[in-house]
């Protein structure tokens, strides 16, 4: 920039964030906007960079393009009515959000869940986790310039959607769990489809590894890129594969056990390289763990009701009180903080979205890296913008 | 581990909770000036920040901070009550950087500002709507803090809240948040000129 870059050039009017961001900028650098409609931002996220050549000096993610005020809707609807909102918060792992809401309200109201329903929840939620990870896998590699993997990922993901469509009736924004159970039973056909799928995906994973995991280009793009330490995760509240890629075996399914997870045998994959490749490896290993969980849960699936007989009615009133309930979503710790005044609608609903905390460390991680690496780092965080904006 | 996490922090009220009932193991009511030392203490003991939120009650705004631990899980809640006419909390975004976005979200939704926050610009709502706070309740919908706690076991207790409210009232005289509001003016005027 020449000396003509006087402070006056910042008073452009118009865009609030660019002006605000530019005020802190140096005249010798360039401000670059990525998004809100850039394919690598995985939805409507905008990121403003201040660049010195190709190196990043400052980063600011700008949120709010998809904000729908879910928390306000939670205060306007009954506990029962609010469930469909959950599928729209994180459309890739909708069942985990279903579960977070159902679990919080069940805890608040002391509602029993039949054992069969608990196992059905485990099976469907883990299937949904795999479908989320498969989409992340394809989309992440697409960000890095590889097109083929997303076709394979979508192919296998479609099978999961076919399976989940049977009990849930939908393919994306599931609203399947109910207060005290699930909306429909998992019939024999669905169970058989799931067993077939487990075998099928196990046979595909070696091909995924051959095709991508050992690929030199991928390794050069990810190894040593986007170093996220445990200490950084702590300060930002990052959880899920992002944290486990920093070597911490923290998983809500084990840390705050819920449902029948304590009865199931599975490990928590970690990788202590703290870089993009570590986060990649963790998610790939999690797919295999989820397959194991599904198989065990199918073997253990008991007979009985899938929905408690005296389940809360749509206008059911919760007892007054306060509750916090967390589950492990595909992106990390999903938390629902509920405050009830004893009426049919919650007094306050706070949704803790894992992506919100994970993305907040993006500015710190990208400082000093190359712009191309920022794309790789963003992809390695597995963003779902509707969940971040809520 | 969890139970002595807040040792040495002068709390107005400390509650041991049952995680099976409320999801919390420990909940503390603090005076606003004790929030930052308490957060620093929790970071020193390797707690991570889960979220920051606000609950509006007829007594004022209740800032709610949740922390958990990677190795020794057990949720700790810190709560701070501030009056409605001086809705300002001290920021903890320099201690826990992840609090930064949560605090900006609280400002969007409730109009609670955070003294010392380096960037209080709107996060989720449009800059033009900066003075509209959608989660604020009308007078009719507002409930007292004592109406929101159950009488049962395991969670926060009505008696604790009553005692906390009394303690907060006693300390009302000199050290109330209304003294701290001066620093917020800088942020406010900054935003107005940028818009």
Q: Which residues of B touch A251 (CB under 8 A)?
A: none
Which pLDDT score is estimated for A318? Answer: 87
Q: Are B74 and B25 in contact (CB under 8 A)?
A: yes
What distance in Å separates the CA atoms of residue A355 and residue A383, rounded to the nearest whole number?
Answer: 6
How many other CB atoms are found less than 10 A from the CB of residue A187?
11
**Within 10 A of A384 (CB to CB), how many other CB atoms are there?**
25
> Nearest-CA distance from B178 to chain A in Å?
26
- Strand pairing partners for B115? B90
Across A219-223, B144-148, B186-190, least confident range: B186-190
Determine whether the interchain pair B124/A341 forms a contact, defined as Cβ–Cβ distance below 8 Å.
no
Three-state DSSP at A46 gives strand
B61 phi/psi in degrees, rounded to 5: -105, 130
Residue-level pLDDT at B170: 58
Give the mean pLDDT of chain A: 89
Read off the pLDDT of residues A49-61 as tens digits, 9 standing for 90 and up: 989 989 999 999 9
**Most confidently modeled range among A3-12, A348-357, B139-148:** A348-357
Burial of A38-76, coded b for 16+ CB within 10 Å and e otherwise, reads: bebbbbbbbbbbbbeeeebbbbbbbbbbbbebbbeebbe
Q: Can you read off the two tokens belonging to residue A351?
A: 């949704």
Classify B24 as helix, strand or coil: coil
Q: Write a three-state SS string for B26-74.
A: EEEEECHHHHHHHHHHHHHCCEEEEEEEEEEECCEEEEEEEEEECCCCC
Query: What's the rounded Cα separation, in Å, for the pair B154 and B17?
Result: 5
How many angstroms away from the CA of B173 is the closest CA of chain A? Answer: 30
Question: Mean pLDDT over residues A6-34, rounded?
Answer: 69
Helix (H) or strand (E) holding A336: strand A332-340
A63 with B125: Cβ contact below 8 A: no
Residue B171 binned pLDDT confidence (cut-offs 50, 70, 90): low
Residue B152: list chain A partners with CB under 8 A.
Answer: 319, 321
- Spell out which residues of chain A touch residue B42, defining contact as CB-CB under 8 Å: none
């Amino acid at each position: 920039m020449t000396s003509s870059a006087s402070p006056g050039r910042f008073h452009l009017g118009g865009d609030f964030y660019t002006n605000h961001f530019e005020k802190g900028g140096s005249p010798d650098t360039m401000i670059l906007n990525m998004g809100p409609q850039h394919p690598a931002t995985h939805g409507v996220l905008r990121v403003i960079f201040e660049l010195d050549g190709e190196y990043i000096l400052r980063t600011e993610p700008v949120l709010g393009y998809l904000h729908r005020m879910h928390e306000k809707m939670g205060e306007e609807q009954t506990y029962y009515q609010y469930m469909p909102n959950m599928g729209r918060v994180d459309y890739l792992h909708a069942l985990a959000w279903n579960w977070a809401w159902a679990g919080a309200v069940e805890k608040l109201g002391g509602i029993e869940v039949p054992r069969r329903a608990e196992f059905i929840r485990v099976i469907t939620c883990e299937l949904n986790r795999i479908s989320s990870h498969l989409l992340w896998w394809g989309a992440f590699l697409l960000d890095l310039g590889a097109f083929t993997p997303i076709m394979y990922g979508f192919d296998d993901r479609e099978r999961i959607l076919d399976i989940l469509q049977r009990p849930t009736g939908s393919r994306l924004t599931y609203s399947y769990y109910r207060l005290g159970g699930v909306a429909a039973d998992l019939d024999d056909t669905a169970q058989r489809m799931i067993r077939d799928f487990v075998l099928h995906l196990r046979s595909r994973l070696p091909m995924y590894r051959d095709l991508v995991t050992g690929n030199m280009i991928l390794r050069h793009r990810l190894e040593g890129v986007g170093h996220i330490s445990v200490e950084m995760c702590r300060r930002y509240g990052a959880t899920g594969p992002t944290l486990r890629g920093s070597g911490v075996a923290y998983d809500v399914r084990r840390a705050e056990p819920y449902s029948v997870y304590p009865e199931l045998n599975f490990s928590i994959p970690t990788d202590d390289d703290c870089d993009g490749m570590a986060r990649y490896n963790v998610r790939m290993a999690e797919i295999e763990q989820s397959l194991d969980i599904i198989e065990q849960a199918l073997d253990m699936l008991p007979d009985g009701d899938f929905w408690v007989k005296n389940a809360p009615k749509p206008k059911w009133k919760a007892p007054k009180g306060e509750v916090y309930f967390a589950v492990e979503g595909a992106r990390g710790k999903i938390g629902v903080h509920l405050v009830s005044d004893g009426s049919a609608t919650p007094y306050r609903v706070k949704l803790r979205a894992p992506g919100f905390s994970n993305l907040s460390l993006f500015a710190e991680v990208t400082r000093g890296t190359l712009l191309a690496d920022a794309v790789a780092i963003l992809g390695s965080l597995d963003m779902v913008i509707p969940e971040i904006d809520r | 581990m969890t139970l002595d996490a807040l040792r040495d922090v002068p709390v107005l009220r400390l509650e041991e909770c049952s995680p099976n009932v409320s999801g919390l193991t420990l909940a503390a009511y603090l005076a606003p000036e004790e929030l930052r030392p308490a957060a620093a203490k929790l970071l020193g003991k390797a707690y991570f920040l889960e979220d920051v939120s606000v609950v509006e009650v007829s007594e004022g705004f209740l800032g709610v901070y949740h922390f958990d631990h990677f190795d020794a899980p057990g949720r700790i809640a810190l709560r701070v009550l501030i009056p409605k006419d001086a809705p300002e909390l001290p920021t903890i975004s320099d201690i826990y950087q992840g609090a930064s976005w949560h605090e900006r979200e609280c400002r969007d939704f409730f109009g609670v500002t955070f003294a010392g926050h380096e960037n209080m610009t709107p996060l989720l709502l449009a800059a033009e709507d900066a003075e509209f706070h959608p989660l604020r309740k009308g007078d009719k919908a507002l409930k007292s803090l004592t109406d929101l706690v159950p009488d049962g076991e395991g969670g926060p207790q009505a008696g604790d809240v009553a005692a906390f409210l009394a303690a907060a009232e006693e300390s009302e005289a000199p050290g109330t948040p209304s003294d701290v509001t001066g620093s917020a003016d800088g942020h406010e005027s900054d935003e107005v000129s940028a818009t």
